[in-house]
């Protein structure tokens, strides 16, 4: 029996990945599953898995791959119970490297699930740095702005509460460049892994948001409707 049909969304910080995930999931019958959100939700709980994850956070250590995969599988199990007719998950933030991808393949095979496609949002590096280095946040209420794309009404001042806006220390061009270097180092082999199986759909993310959304949906609709792609091998 065919299982769920999942889609992976890959893109660097600043590519619009989170924005597009929230826009395309429902129209495609998918549920957006972001590992970052899962960890934040986990921090509000008090159970064995939450305590294990919190122990790594408390020590300033990265959560091991196998624990991250358990967190993801727990969410997929919840979706099976809560939404028995859902098509599949739109995975955002996992996998991040080839080893994680291979582990994910193994557990999905056991569930009789499959990966239908991997959407790769491609944006030039210079554009990513411009997008990210222009971000401003309000330390008082958390509102976010951008110097170029979404500036406040009064320069340097929050529209919501009037507090002075600040730039995060990791949003300087130098810090952003280091993060992008790390992303490219791990993501290149990950994309190659999926390209070998013909799963990658490259999307030009350097366009208006609505145009990018339409392109992704148009590319995924026939894939998700194809029985040869949406079944476990």
**Torsional sign, CA 123, 186, 136, 133:** negative
CB 156 within 8 Å of CB 165: yes
CB 49 within 8 Å of CB 74: yes
Distances (CA, A) of 173 to 81, 88, 94, 126: 44, 37, 25, 10
Which of the pair, 233 or 14, is modelled with greater confidence? 14
Residue 3: count of CB within 10 angstroms of its CB: 17
Told to judge if 197 belongs to the known catalytic residues of this protein, a careful annotator would answer no
Find, among 37, 42, 72, 38, the residue nearest to 54 by Cα: 42
Told to judge if 23 belongs to the known catalytic residues of this protein, a careful annotator would answer no
Residue 219 has pLDDT above 80, yes or no: yes
Told to judge if 17 belongs to the known catalytic residues of this protein, a careful annotator would answer yes
Residue 126: count of CB within 10 angstroms of its CB: 9
Told to judge if 70 belongs to the known catalytic residues of this protein, a careful annotator would answer no
- What confidence tens digit (pLDDT) does each residue in 106-138 have? 999 999 999 999 999 999 999 999 999 998 999
Beta strand 30-34 with 5-10 is unpaired
ω before 95 within 30° of 0 (cis)?
yes
Catalytic residue among 87, 98, 111, 179: 179
pLDDT of residue 193: 96
Catalytic residue among 17, 23, 75, 131: 17
DSSP state letter for 210: H
**Model's pTM, two decimal places?**
0.88
- What confidence tens digit (pLDDT) does each residue in 90-107 have? 999 899 999 999 999 999
**Torsional sign, CA 1, 197, 109, 90:** negative
Average pLDDT, the chain: 92
Told to judge if 135 belongs to the known catalytic residues of this protein, a careful annotator would answer yes
Catalytic residue among 54, 70, 87, 96: 96
């Amino acid at each position: 029996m065919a299982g769920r049909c999942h889609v992976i969304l890959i893109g660097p910080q600043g590519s619009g990945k989170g924005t597009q995930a929230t826009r395309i999931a429902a129209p495609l019958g998918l549920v957006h599953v972001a590992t970052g959100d899962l960890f934040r939700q986990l921090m509000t709980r008090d159970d064995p898995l939450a305590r294990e994850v919190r122990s790594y956070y408390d020590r300033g250590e990265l959560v091991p791959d196998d624990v991250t995969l358990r967190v993801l599988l727990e969410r997929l199990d919840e979706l099976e119970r809560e939404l028995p007719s859902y098509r599949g998950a739109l995975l955002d933030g996992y996998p991040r490297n080839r080893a994680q991808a291979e582990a994910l393949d193994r557990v999905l095979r056991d569930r009789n699930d499959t990966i239908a496609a991997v959407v790769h949002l491609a944006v030039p590096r210079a554009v990513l740095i411009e997008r990210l280095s222009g971000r401003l946040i309000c330390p008082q209420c958390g509102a976010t702005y951008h110097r170029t794309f979404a500036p406040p009404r009064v320069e340097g001042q929050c529209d919501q509460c009037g507090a002075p806006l600040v730039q995060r220390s990791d949003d300087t061009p130098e810090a952003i460049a280091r993060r992008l270097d790390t992303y490219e180092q791990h993501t290149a082999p990950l994309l190659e892994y999926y390209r070998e199986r013909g799963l990658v759909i490259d999307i030009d993310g350097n366009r208006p948001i609505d145009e990018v959304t339409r392109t992704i949906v148009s590319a995924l609709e026939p894939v998700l409707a194809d029985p040869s792609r949406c079944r476990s091998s």
